[in-house]
Amino acid sequence: MLYRTRVSNELGAGNAQAAKITVKAIIVLVVAKMVIVAMILFFCHRVLGYAFSCKKEIVDRIADMGPLLCLLIIVDGLQAVLSRVTRGSGWQDIGAYVNLGAYYLVGVPVGVVLAFVVHLKGKGLWVRMLTGSTVQAYLLALKTSFTNWEKQASKARERIFDGDI
């Protein structure tokens, strides 16, 4: 959450370049952290199930879903960062539309088809979350990468001085 505040503070101060650098730095740092966590889980996914149950069936099911969980951790971490950057940049409306579209227009139909038509059951529902997070991260990354930070900084300054906060 600190980086949302940092981006909005830099934009409000008129420091477009600092806001842009902050966004890049937090993306790299958070994704690196998520990759490390995912790697640890990936290498432990065969024994992770024993933390929940001693039954071989449950342990095997968790081991089967482990790689999918690792991928979801990375994508969801990126999506979370980009969502906070979106809010810190004053694009709450864009973030809401992207969230609704990614999860309800793309993720839910994918999950329904995979879980109930293709009969992947729980795995299909996990793929639904991964699909929604991936679509959301992709769309927010596009918005962030094509942002004119100078223009965003001037808009933020206008909101401050016009009292539209």
Query: Mean of the pLDDT values across residues 2-27?
Result: 84
Distance CA 134, CA 72 (A): 9
Query: Mean of the pLDDT values across residues 28-45?
Result: 93
- Give me the pLDDT at residue 131, please: 97
- Judged against a pLDDT cut of 90, whether residue 110 lies above it is answered with yes
Distance CA 3, CA 1 (A): 5
Q: How confident is the model at residue 144 (pLDDT cuts 50, 70, 90)?
A: very high
Q: How confident is the model at residue 120 (pLDDT cuts 50, 70, 90)?
A: very high
Whether the CB-CB separation of 20 and 149 falls below 8 Å is answered with: yes
Helices and strands (H and E) in the chain: how many = 7, 0
- Judged against a pLDDT cut of 90, whether residue 107 lies above it is answered with yes
Q: Which of 56, 3, 14 has the alpha carbon at shortest distance from 150? A: 14
- Judged against a pLDDT cut of 70, whether residue 150 lies above it is answered with yes
Q: Identify the burial level of 11 via C-beta atoms within 10 angstroms of its C-beta, where 0-12 means exposed, 13-18 middle and 19 or more buried.
A: buried
Average pLDDT, the chain: 90
Better-predicted residue by pLDDT, 51 or 162: 51
Query: Mean of the pLDDT values across residues 38-49?
Result: 92
- Give me the pLDDT at residue 157, please: 80
**What SS3 state is found at 148?**
coil
